[in-house]
């Protein structure tokens, strides 16, 4: 996938194991600027709530 895929994979794996929805995971505070924040934005985009969407 990419250079930092393990960062994203850990977060998504935990969410799947816990049964967390994209909306719930998107509400978790993510540090800025990080790849985790990009994950949060992508999760918000699923529900058309992304602040930085083009």
pLDDT digits (tens, 9 = 90+) for 1-54: 677 777 788 888 989 999 999 889 888 888 888 888 888 888 888 877 766 655
Residue 51 within any structural domain of the chain:
no
Cβ–Cβ under 8 Å, residues 50 and 40: no
Kindly state whether residue 54 falls inside one of the protein's structural domains. Answer: no
pLDDT for position 7: 76
Our count of domains for the chain comes to: 1
> Of 30, 32, 44, 47, which is the active-site residue?
32
Report the pLDDT value the prediction gives residue 51, as an integer from 0 to 100. Answer: 66
32 among known catalytic residues? yes
Domain contains 52: no
The predicted pLDDT at position 48 comes to 77
39-to-22, 25, 51, 53 alpha-carbon distances in Å: 10, 9, 13, 13
* Any domain includes 29: yes
18 within domain boundaries: yes
Classify residue 23: in a domain, yes or no: yes
Flag whether 37 is in a domain.
yes
Residue 53 domain-assigned (yes or no)? no
User: Which residue range is the domain that position 24 belongs to?
Assistant: 5-46
Query: Which pLDDT belongs to residue 53?
Result: 59
């Amino acid at each position: 996938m990419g250079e930092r895929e393990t960062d994203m994979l850990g977060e998504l794996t935990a969410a799947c194991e816990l049964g967390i929805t994209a909306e719930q995971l998107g509400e978790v505070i993510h540090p800025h600027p990080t790849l985790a924040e990009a994950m949060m934005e992508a999760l918000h985009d699923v529900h058309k709530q992304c602040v930085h969407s083009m």
